[in-house]
Structure 1
Amino acid sequence: MILRSILLAAASAVTLSGCLTAPEPPQSELSLAERAPLVSAGGSRFVEAEPVELWWQLYESEALDTLVRTALERNRTLAEVSAELEQVRASLGEARSARLPSTTTSAEAGYARQPVEPSGYVEGDRYSVGFDTRWQLDLFGRVRNAVAAARQDVLAAEAAYDAAAILVAGETARAWADYCASDRLVAVARNNVEIAGRSLDLTERLYDAGRGLRLDVVQAQSRLETARADLPSFRASRDSAVFRLATLTGRTPAQMQAEIPECEGVPRLEGPIAVGDAASLLARRPDVRQTEHALEGAAARVGVATAELYPSVSLGGSIASTALDAGNLGNDDTLTISAGPLISWSFPNIAATRARIRQAEAGADAALARFDQSVLNALQETETALTRYAAERERRNSLEVARDAAAEAARLSRIRYEAGAESFLTVLDSERTFADAQTALARSDATAASAEVDVFIALGGAWPRTRDADSER
């Protein structure tokens, strides 16, 4: 009768469990499915097509492609994130192990003294071996929700890895662009020094011939030294970019300095950039996916806490053999066998359980807030990146026109000065304007290249999801 009552209780629990489902995560109030274009994606710089996956290959630079590939293989920060991902995947395996029966084996040998009726004791050797197993029936979703939470942790960790990989690729491309831009600035500074040197030579010759002023010579010397003063800072910026590339690619500065490829110009895309729409952006951004999985995991943990309100039911069995002689172990008269359901329920004191449920629910609310914030941050970062990139490209075009005009003005003023039709002050001013225009254009190339990288990072890099097939089950 007792066994029948227990079985009936277990059957009732199974029926009740059919009404329990995994809790749904709290819903965001943001409109996430709207396939609206990005606000800043108008104009000729962008098109509403899906971004390519390996965006750095759009530059058709073998050097950049090699650097990014090396960084993704050897970057130490990325290796750390990868190891953390493996830790989380191992935790998922641990959570899944709760679905399987647990087994215990034991063996004992010793000297025992036991009382016997009517009085007295029996002393002698005693041997015992045993085996028992227990399988928890997941009637109320405790294990199921724990596994679901662990699976979401894996997916969140995979999204974190994607985010880290996007950042490593983007920063490698940025460091390469900075290296090329700094190299270009060094070349511009050298050209400015050369122009200033020619002006000084010209003024000295005219002064020696009695056709110039000492003031012109001094001003030309000042201009030459000013141009030379730019070179050290530009070289330092170029070296700094090399050192950043070394860290990103897992090399020492000396190794990178020896292996740095030759730059053929500042990376720049001439065609429009594919940016997609807002909905595809949010689906693509790994930081949004990370917080989304964290939200679903938090909801599953509410289910884990809720399951504590209900009884824990396990099927168990054991077999043991105890004998005074090791040779008798396993004989029928030494065996003890038991089997049946095991039910435990702490319903008289559920205050702690309800407190844990409230704690889990608050955690889900916090996860929802983080998810909403990640969505807003993604939209803000992308819109800002698109706006800054378009503005810098427009600025760069104007600076290019200004540089060409300044070059022509400097050429004409030099001709007029040599003909005696213009003062050296005019020549000096036009050459200073030309040098500044060259430097400003080179700096704008660097800023535009960095802004271009910001766009690709903000777009989520169109990175393919690195989901482990095992984490989907």
Structure 2
Amino acid sequence: MTSRLTPLAAALLLLAGCAVTPRYQVPDTALPAGYKEVPAAAEGWLPAAPADALDRGPWWTLFGDETLNTLAAQVEVSNQNVAAAVAAYAQSQSLVKEARASFFPSVSLSGGATRSGGGARTSTGNTYQVGLGASWEAPLWGKLEAGVDTATATAQASEADLASARLSAQAALATNYFSLREADAEIDVVTRTVEGFTRSQTITQNRYDAGIAPKSDLLQAQTQLANAQADLATLKRQRAVLEHAIAVLVGKAPSQFSLPPAAWQMTVPAVPLVVPSELLQRRPDIAGAERSVASANAQIGIARSAYFPSLSLSGSYGQQSSAASQLFNASQNLWSLGVSVAQTIFDAGATRARVEGAEASRDAAVARYRQTTLAALGAVEDQLSLVRMLAEQSPLRQQASKAADDTEVQTLNRYRAGQVSYLEVATAQSSALSARRALVQLQVDQQLAAIGLIQAMGGGWHASWK
């Protein structure tokens, strides 16, 4: 029987290289010639394609803050979202190894002993057996290769998810850290303002006691001081919340983490006029979306392989004896070889439905990839626009703050000389405080916009990181 099956098996083995998986190509995307917000980038622009394996480097060091550098290193090893992504990637790699193992035969070892008997006419006896068994499915129609391709692409998508988790945690850390430093700066501004309002209230109190100023001036001064003190309490609460968020990002309980006030490094990395297309290629979400398309494409091959027969080879070798001492004698040998072919004749269109479903899944993955690319382009445009607008506002905010400070000093001097009412003093002081806080907020907004741009581009823009 085995000799008759050999020609059939050989013929089927010749078909092992006939794959039914569609040839994979990275989906086309409608990329612009350059960024709208940076017209100079049009020259030398290259079509983007996922290249997530490129090294990003420690982009947070661009801000020149040693405390941030230390905290970012803790995110890499202690952030639990990153740890979960690392575990998911390790799991996906194990699935690749499992898929590759399907190319090789499965070998098993078995053994046993039984004792049987019956009535008076049936003798009682022992039976011992030991054997090796093996089975192997021939890699026909590219089904097994498609399984490996699916697992590999899924693992690569998981690797991109890991990169996304790291970048997201690092960006969140930097955002919260600089927001905390901005809160420190605002606390300092408002604290000094409270001291100034306290002095103004003392002056007004003295003038009121002397009968020079009306009661309304004193009430206005008290209102200003109370509002400033309330603002100070709000800022301290916001700082505490930011400190708690940083603790969670670095994998610590908020009660076990403290970040004392320190000098604020207001460094804002400059955006180059020409943005290399390689930066867009390095967005991990684009890389992950493209790998999902490749995985879905391979699934089509797995579904199509059900149209064709499957071939399995099996064999066994063993020994059986009624006496344990005779178990390994040559006369007790038993062996078998077999070939099995299976082909679905009728399944009421189930195979066709699975193929159509796989093709639809691939089309959906293509759409998600294109949408991810468009969203990435939009995010970069948004951040470039924000960076430019904030840069334009910076000198104006500085000018406004200086003018408001000068107005406050002059108005207070005029009030002491009895030339203006306290209402004008209160107005000037409120304007000066607002201008100071707006300037501080603009400075942190510039840093946060730089972080957003770095994140939108996949993590960093130094030429050495291409």
Question: Shared fold by TM > 0.5?
Answer: yes
The answer to whether the 8 A contact 1:193-1:224 is kept is: yes
**3-state DSSP of counterpart to 2:257:** helix
In 1, the alpha carbon distance for the partners of 2:112 and 2:157 equals 47
In 1, the alpha carbon distance for the partners of 2:296 and 2:446 equals 41
Gaps of 5+ in 2: 47-53
The answer to whether the 8 A contact 1:150-1:297 is kept is: yes
Q: Does 1:158 align with 2:159?
A: yes
1:307 to 294, 305, 321: 305
Aligned to 1:95: 99
The answer to whether the 8 A contact 1:26-1:364 is kept is: no
**3-state DSSP of counterpart to 2:314:** strand
User: Given residue 72 of structure 1, which amino acid in structure 2 is its aligned partner?
Assistant: E
**3-state DSSP of counterpart to 2:335:** strand
In 1, the alpha carbon distance for the partners of 2:247 and 2:202 equals 42
**3-state DSSP of counterpart to 2:19:** coil
Distance 1:267 1:240, change over 3 A: farther
Aligned to 1:6: 5
1:41 to 38, 41, 63: 38
In the TM superposition, residue 161 of structure 1 has moved relative to its aligned partner by 0.4
Q: Does 1:188 align with 2:169?
A: no
The answer to whether the 8 A contact 2:217-2:423 is kept is: yes
In 1, the alpha carbon distance for the partners of 2:283 and 2:274 equals 12
Aligned to 2:29: 30
Could you report, residue by residue, the CA deviation over 1:43-78 in whole angstroms, capped at 9, with x for unpaired residues?
Answer: 89xx99999632110011100100111112101111
The answer to whether the 8 A contact 2:65-2:265 is kept is: no
**3-state DSSP of counterpart to 1:426:** helix
User: Given residue 9 of structure 1, which amino acid in structure 2 is its aligned partner?
Assistant: L
1:413 to 411, 414, 421: 411
User: Given residue 422 of structure 1, which amino acid in structure 2 is its aligned partner?
Assistant: V
User: Given residue 340 of structure 2, which amino acid in structure 1 is its aligned partner?
Assistant: I
Aligned to 1:284: 282
In 1, the alpha carbon distance for the partners of 2:378 and 2:444 equals 23
Aligned to 2:49: none
In 2, the alpha carbon distance for the partners of 1:58 and 1:274 equals 17
Aligned to 1:268: 267
In 2, the alpha carbon distance for the partners of 1:197 and 1:167 equals 44
User: Given residue 135 of structure 2, which amino acid in structure 1 is its aligned partner?
Assistant: R
Aligned to 2:50: none
Could you report, residue by residue, the CA deviation over 1:371-416 in whole angstroms, capped at 9, with x for unpaired residues?
Answer: 1221122112221222223223333432221011111111122223
Aligned to 1:255: 256
- Map 1:111-150; keep pairs closer than 5 Å: 111-112=115-116, 124-150=125-151
User: Given residue 389 of structure 1, which amino acid in structure 2 is its aligned partner?
Assistant: V
In 1, the alpha carbon distance for the partners of 2:374 and 2:124 equals 78
1:348 to 345, 364, 369: 345
User: Given residue 92 of structure 1, which amino acid in structure 2 is its aligned partner?
Assistant: V
Could you report, residue by residue, the CA deviation over 1:166-225 in whole angstroms, capped at 9, with x for unpaired residues?
Answer: 001000101111110111111111122122122222223333444433332222222221
TM-score normalized by the length of structure 2: 0.88
The answer to whether the 8 A contact 1:105-1:132 is kept is: yes
Aligned to 2:388: 390
The answer to whether the 8 A contact 2:63-2:267 is kept is: yes
Answer with 98-107 or 266-275: which moved more: 266-275
User: Given residue 338 of structure 1, which amino acid in structure 2 is its aligned partner?
Assistant: S
Aligned to 1:436: 434
Aligned to 1:422: 420
Answer with 165-174 or 356-365: which moved more: 356-365
The answer to whether the 8 A contact 1:319-1:336 is kept is: yes
**3-state DSSP of counterpart to 1:411:** helix
**3-state DSSP of counterpart to 2:38:** coil
Q: Does 1:217 align with 2:199?
A: no
Q: Does 1:15 align with 2:14?
A: yes
In 2, the alpha carbon distance for the partners of 1:23 and 1:361 equals 10
In 2, the alpha carbon distance for the partners of 1:346 and 1:43 equals 61
Aligned to 1:470: none
In 2, the alpha carbon distance for the partners of 1:310 and 1:282 equals 42
Distance 1:272 1:356, change over 3 A: closer
In 2, the alpha carbon distance for the partners of 1:268 and 1:123 equals 92
In 1, the alpha carbon distance for the partners of 2:219 and 2:138 equals 94
In the TM superposition, residue 165 of structure 1 has moved relative to its aligned partner by 0.1
TM-score normalized by the length of structure 1: 0.87
User: Given residue 146 of structure 2, which amino acid in structure 1 is its aligned partner?
Assistant: N
The answer to whether the 8 A contact 1:56-1:64 is kept is: yes
1:69 to 63, 66, 73: 73
In 2, the alpha carbon distance for the partners of 1:212 and 1:179 equals 41
Distance 1:463 1:320, change over 3 A: farther
Aligned to 1:367: 365
2:86 to 79, 82, 87: 82
Distance 1:43 1:415, change over 3 A: farther
User: Given residue 449 of structure 2, which amino acid in structure 1 is its aligned partner?
Assistant: A
In 2, the alpha carbon distance for the partners of 1:59 and 1:369 equals 37
User: Given residue 275 of structure 2, which amino acid in structure 1 is its aligned partner?
Assistant: G
Aligned to 1:452: 450
User: Given residue 339 of structure 1, which amino acid in structure 2 is its aligned partner?
Assistant: L
In the TM superposition, residue 42 of structure 1 has moved relative to its aligned partner by 5.2
Answer with 367-376 or 12-21: which moved more: 12-21
Distance 1:153 1:250, change over 3 A: same
Aligned to 1:104: 108
The answer to whether the 8 A contact 1:180-1:265 is kept is: yes
User: Given residue 37 of structure 1, which amino acid in structure 2 is its aligned partner?
Assistant: G
Distance 1:43 1:37, change over 3 A: closer
The answer to whether the 8 A contact 1:284-1:462 is kept is: no
The answer to whether the 8 A contact 1:92-1:150 is kept is: yes
Could you report, residue by residue, the CA deviation over 1:283-312 in whole angstroms, capped at 9, with x for unpaired residues?
Answer: 211011111111101111111122222222
Gaps of 5+ in 1: 115-119, 465-473
Count of residue correspondences: 450
User: Given residue 250 of structure 1, which amino acid in structure 2 is its aligned partner?
Assistant: G
Distance 1:274 1:173, change over 3 A: farther
In the TM superposition, residue 4 of structure 1 has moved relative to its aligned partner by 4.9
The answer to whether the 8 A contact 2:18-2:140 is kept is: no
Answer with 49-58 or 280-289: which moved more: 49-58
**3-state DSSP of counterpart to 2:346:** coil
In 2, the alpha carbon distance for the partners of 1:83 and 1:402 equals 52
In 2, the alpha carbon distance for the partners of 1:310 and 1:270 equals 59
In the TM superposition, residue 80 of structure 1 has moved relative to its aligned partner by 1.4
User: Given residue 95 of structure 1, which amino acid in structure 2 is its aligned partner?
Assistant: A
Answer with 421-430 or 65-74: which moved more: 421-430
In the TM superposition, residue 25 of structure 1 has moved relative to its aligned partner by 3.9
Distance 1:463 1:429, change over 3 A: closer
User: Given residue 345 of structure 1, which amino acid in structure 2 is its aligned partner?
Assistant: A
